[in-house]
């Protein structure tokens, strides 16, 4: 019998629970390979070894080269892989989500497919933005109006704080340069926040397209989710950059770098993971690798891999 080389594929019981793993690991300008059950990371400073089973999401930034063998190990150990811009500012693509379980996705689909539960989740999102007000009885129209007033107030406060003139939000997706400095900074800041939101949603196995407030776009839930953090992150940073750099032609790039630095400590990432699970009502997301069932509308989940057949007369039961 030929002896197999390399590390064996881990059993389900050997894989770490999500809460026991390192949350996110960001890498840039490095070469990724595999040695046994570890990802090797090589750059100008040398080589580091990262046990694959203790990392939940690997964020691959600019200048990363990754081998087929490394990707094989990531897949075997249930690691989520996301290709991003510098410090996660933009999300370009993603591999399989870190949870091979579909719990988050199923919860999201169930909640968004029922008008009552969809409104309940939308209210929960708005409640996060109005912690001192009870919004449980407000209609979607009332919630939109309340949120619109809040955002306008945030703009006015930031304008007063920084001295940056504010008139209104203007955004032309086909002509970034046509905007005023503050509008260009806001566009760049929001795009960075969308990128981070998309990375978290994809890595956790939820759907970017199943929105509760926004709808009809493949990134509807990304817009929903990012809106929770704009008043705290992208809007203040945009005004600060507009105050500091004014008509600088690179204001978009400088804004993205500022957002990158705000994301760098990782605290927003951890908060987003918690908020996402709370919004969808899933307290824990295990890495249920290889757990596959058959759905039945009357009998519940049935075992996969069993040869089912229709009973005929004489078969017995």
Q: Residue positions in the annotated binding site for Mn(2+)?
A: 147, 214, 227
Q: Quote the radius of gyration of the chain (alpha carbons, Å).
A: 23
What residues contact residue 215 under an 8 Å CB cut-off, 6+ apart?
none
Q: Which of 33-43 are b and which e, b meaning 16 or more Cβ less than 10 Å from the residue's Cβ?
A: bbeebbbbbee
Rounded to whole angstroms, how far apart are CA atoms 317 and 312? 10
Nearest to 105 by CA among 203, 185, 191: 203
Q: How many angstroms separate the CA atoms of 182 and 306, rounded?
A: 61
Spatial CA neighbour of 101 closest among 80, 132, 117: 80
Q: Cβ–Cβ contacts within 10 Å for residue 234, how many?
A: 26
Q: Which single residue is written with the structure tokens 């199923």?
A: 106
The annotated binding site is made up of 147, 214, 227
């Amino acid at each position: 019998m030929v002896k197999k080389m390399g590390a064996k594929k881990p059993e389900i019981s050997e894989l770490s629970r999500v809460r026991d793993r390192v949350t996110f690991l960001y890498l840039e300008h490095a070469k990724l390979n595999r040695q046994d059950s570890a990802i090797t990371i090589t750059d100008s400073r040398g080589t580091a070894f990262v046990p694959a089973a203790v990392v939940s999401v690997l964020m691959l930034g600019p200048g990363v080269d990754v081998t087929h063998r490394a990707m094989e190990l990531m897949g075997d150990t249930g690691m989520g892989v996301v290709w991003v811009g510098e410090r996660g500012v933009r999300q370009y693509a993603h591999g399989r989500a870190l949870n091979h379980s579909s719990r988050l996705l199923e919860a999201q689909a169930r909640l968004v497919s029922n008008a009552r539960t969809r409104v309940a989740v939308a209210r929960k999102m708005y409640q996060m933005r109005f912690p001192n007000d009870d919004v449980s009885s407000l209609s979607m129209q009332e919630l939109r109006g309340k949120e619109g007033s809040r955002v306008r107030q945030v703009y006015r406060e930031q304008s007063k704080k920084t001295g940056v003139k504010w008139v209104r939000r203007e955004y032309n997706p086909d002509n970034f340069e046509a905007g005023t400095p503050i509008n260009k900074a806001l566009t760049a800041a929001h795009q960075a926040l969308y990128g981070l939101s998309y990375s978290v949603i994809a890595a956790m196995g939820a759907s970017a397209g199943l929105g509760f407030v926004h709808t009809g776009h493949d990134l509807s839930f990304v817009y929903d989710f990012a809106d929770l953090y704009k008043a705290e992150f992208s809007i203040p940073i945009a005004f600060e950059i507009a105050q500091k750099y004014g008509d600088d032609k690179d204001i978009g790039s400088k804004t993205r770098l500022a957002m990158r630095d705000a994301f760098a400590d990782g605290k927003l990432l951890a908060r987003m993971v918690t908020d996402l699970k709370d919004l969808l009502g899933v307290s824990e997301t295990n890495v249920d690798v290889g757990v596959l069932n058959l759905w039945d509308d009357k009998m519940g989940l049935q075992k996969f891999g069993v040869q089912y057949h229709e009973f005929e007369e004489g078969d017995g039961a």
